[in-house]
Structure 1
Amino acid sequence: MAPSIDERGSSGIKTRILIVSDTHGAGPSPTPTLPNHKRTPFHTPLPKVDVLLHCGDMTMVGHLEEYQNTLDWLSEIDAELKLVIAGNHDISLDEEYWHRKGHKMQRLKEPNPDLPRLAKEMLNGEEARKIGVRYLEEGVHEFVLKSGAKLRVYASPYQPEFCDWAFPYFRHEDRFNPPEHVPPTASPIAENPIPDFPAIDVLMTHGPPFGRLDRTHRHESVGCEHLLRAARRCRPRLHAFGHIHEGWGVDRVVWRGEPGGPVDGEWQNHVEKAEAIPVDANKMFEEKGVYVDVSSDAGDRELVFGKETLMVNASVMTVRYQPLQGPWVVDLDLDRA
């Protein structure tokens, strides 16, 4: 049986976070079995939590009705705060991209030039706020929960250019580090760089860092080296992302060196070790998610802030766009506001 949300940790405030990504227009199934007779852990009702994170790709191609469908199923989630970012498929939220190519991707004969504005207004509107949804654009955001916990989030929808979809940057461009942390082989383009440790509790990006839950079905690592370097410098308690459906899973990462130390440019040198969290498929199906406790209640499994980061690829869809991968439910301690 899943533990209760009301159990609070002793050193800090225990906070339960539900993480999903890449739902692509689909909400939780009303039944545990899909029309193709496959069992899905992504079915109603999803677990009660303090905070929900949706790490992008709410839609297939950024239509307004897809965003509305996302708001409809998010309204059914029992969570005080629901944080949402865009992904590369949410093309109408990237205004520059949409005006360049979005209307072609949507196959519209008469594109509506107001679509990017309407999409953002929907996600920032009264209906969204009433159900606890906060749409986050790139940068730092802070929240205080009813429990008294302080939640500090860095959000970004950007990822390395991927088949010319939305929110792209080139691989030689570093979007996440200030110039003094950019190697000579890269070009600094950060408008809102990720801050240093200990400024952030949760790093919330659409794309993964390089070498961490980023392998495609062709066995290629396609994450971002610059994001990995920034994550090591930032050392959040939790780094949640999606984008690479095949990368679904959780790694408990131990960083090399101490916070504030030098961060060289070689991706192999950032991580001291990483432990993959095992998954019991039957238990995931029964509990509608995979539970990971790294709070003070976990004893010697408590996460060491500044030394470790729990990295979560929460893509619900498989590579064949079937919702067969469960949400992740993470218990961790946050500081009191």
Structure 2
Amino acid sequence: MSTFTASPSTVKTRFLIFSDTHNATPITDAFNPSFRQPQPKADVLLHCGDLTMVGKLHEYENTLNMLAGIEAGLKLVIAGNHDISLDETFFNRKGQYMHRLQEPDDTVHAQAKEIWTGDKARAAGVIYLEEGTHCFTLKNGAKLRVYASPYQPEFCDWAFPYFRNEDRYNPPHLATPGAVPIAVNPAPDFPAADIMMTHGPPMGLRDKVFPGNEHVGCEHLLRASRRCKPRLHCFGHIHEGWGAEMVRWKEGDELDTEWEKHVQESQYIEVDELKATEERVAFVDISKDSKKPLEFGKETLMINASIMTVTYRPHQAPWLVDLDLEKAA
């Protein structure tokens, strides 16, 4: 098993985390919502996908304008299953029907990508992440390494899907036993990533749907997260899964399939809902200055940051997280 020695030279870094805004913007006058203006400042803003309801260009523009108005040195964005025009293969298959177009329009995908990678996005400090590992040097002098993926198990035939028997996140020699390995950009081994940023949740962690209380996260992503052991793994997709848990991983590198073989302990993070409403965020400090600092390599903070409720009301709080990053060389 890989070992890691903490660097004496770290930088406390603040992350503001959203997911599943679905074209909503922070409101200014409503009863008891946490998602309202102004949003707090942060070193890094993370948006874990479902920027829109159905991937229309004006929806992307609206969400980009919202992100531009938030003060953060770096703003990282991935797509989600509702952002259908950012998945070229899917949009070529279903875009005409889902956008109610009279005829196919093969320019929509390029226009959608341009919104998130063009001059306006750059001016807003926004970087759109494709699947893979990305490295950044922050304005506070910290080094940030992020593994990103917009994919999730197939769900009612929306964008960025894979079948549940397909392992998208682990290389073939580490794939889930019995699964079909399809990883193109697998998650890296520990300690190569500080953050995992996926649209869908890992199996058993903030992934329960109602009614039915069924866990719908991905078992292959759970294994990848255990192998990667990031400081933070943030996601959305399952609106009713909003919340945070601190996971302590099992020791070893076994290719197990069961949840309990990966997770030693998972502790729910209590949130003072009144305070979260007043401060517009749910706040967690896992830096070395906190009462319970994160043990990098042994623990991962899991956050489902879905802003929308299960009934598509933008009333769930964003998350504000303080954690330590290594200083850049």
Give the TM-score normalised by the residue count of structure 2. Answer: 0.95
Preserved CA contact (<8 Å) 2:245 2:301: yes
Asked if 1:251 corresponds to 2:248, the answer is: no
Deviation at residue 281 of structure 1 after TM alignment? 1.2
Question: Which of 253, 271, 295 does residue 263 from structure 2 map onto?
Answer: 271
Q: Which amino acid aligns with 2:201?
A: P
Paired residues for 1:64-213 under 5 Å: 64-213=57-206
Contact 1:235–1:306 (CA under 8 A) maintained in structure 2: yes
1:45 alignment partner in structure 2: 38
Let me know the Cα RMSD of the aligned residues: 1.0
Inter-partner Cα distance in structure 2 for 1:111 and 1:80: 39
Q: Compute the displacement of 1:64 (Å).
A: 0.4
**Which one of 262, 277, 282 corresponds to residue 285 of structure 1?**
277
Match of residue 313, structure 1, among 287, 304, 307: 304
Cα distance in 2 for partners of 1:193, 1:77 equals 31
Residues 9 and 327 of structure 2 are in contact (CA less than 8 Å); yes or no, is this contact kept in structure 1? no
Q: Deviations over 1:211-238 (max 9, x none)?
A: 0000001211000000000000000000
Do the aligned partners of 2:176 and 2:257 also contact (CA within 8 Å) in 1? yes
Where 1:121 maps in the other structure, the secondary structure is helix
Give the Å deviation of 1:85. 0.1
* Cα displacement (A) at 1:107: 1.6
Conserved? CA contact 2:25–2:66, under 8 Å: yes
Partners of 1:183 and 1:283 in 2: CA distance: 41
Could you tell me whether the CA contact under 8 Å between 1:52 and 1:79 is conserved in 2?
yes
Distance 2:9 2:33 in 1: 36
Give the conservation status (yes or no) of the 8 Å contact 1:11–1:333.
no
Cα shift at 1:184: 3.3
Q: 2:52 aligns with which of 59, 74, 91?
A: 59
Runs of 4 or more consecutive aligned structure 1 residues displaced over 4 Å after TM superposition: none
Q: Separation in 2 of the partners of 1:267 and 1:185?
A: 16
2:60 partner amino acid:
Y
Q: Identify the residue that residue 320 of structure 2 maps to in structure 1.
A: 329
Letter in structure 1 aligned against 2:215: S
Counterparts of 2:24 and 2:176, CA distance in 1: 40
User: In the aligned structure 1, how far is the partner of 2:269 from the partner of 2:158?
Assistant: 31
Conservation of the 8 A alpha-carbon contact between 1:233 and 1:263: no
Letter of the structure 2 residue corresponding to residue 293 of structure 1 = D
Instruction: State whether residues 177 and 257 of structure 2, in contact with CA within 8 Å, keep that contact through their aligned partners in structure 1.
Output: no
Give the TM-score normalised by the residue count of structure 1.
0.93
Partners of 1:135 and 1:204 in 2: CA distance: 12
Aligned residue number for residue 289 of structure 2: 297
Residue 11 of structure 1 and its aligned partner are, at CA, apart by 5.5
User: 3-state SS of the aligned residue for 1:191?
Assistant: coil
Gap regions ≥5 residues in structure 2 = 1-7
Count of matched residue positions in the alignment of Structure 1 and Structure 2 = 320
* SS of aligned partner of 1:296: coil
1:236 aligned partner: 230
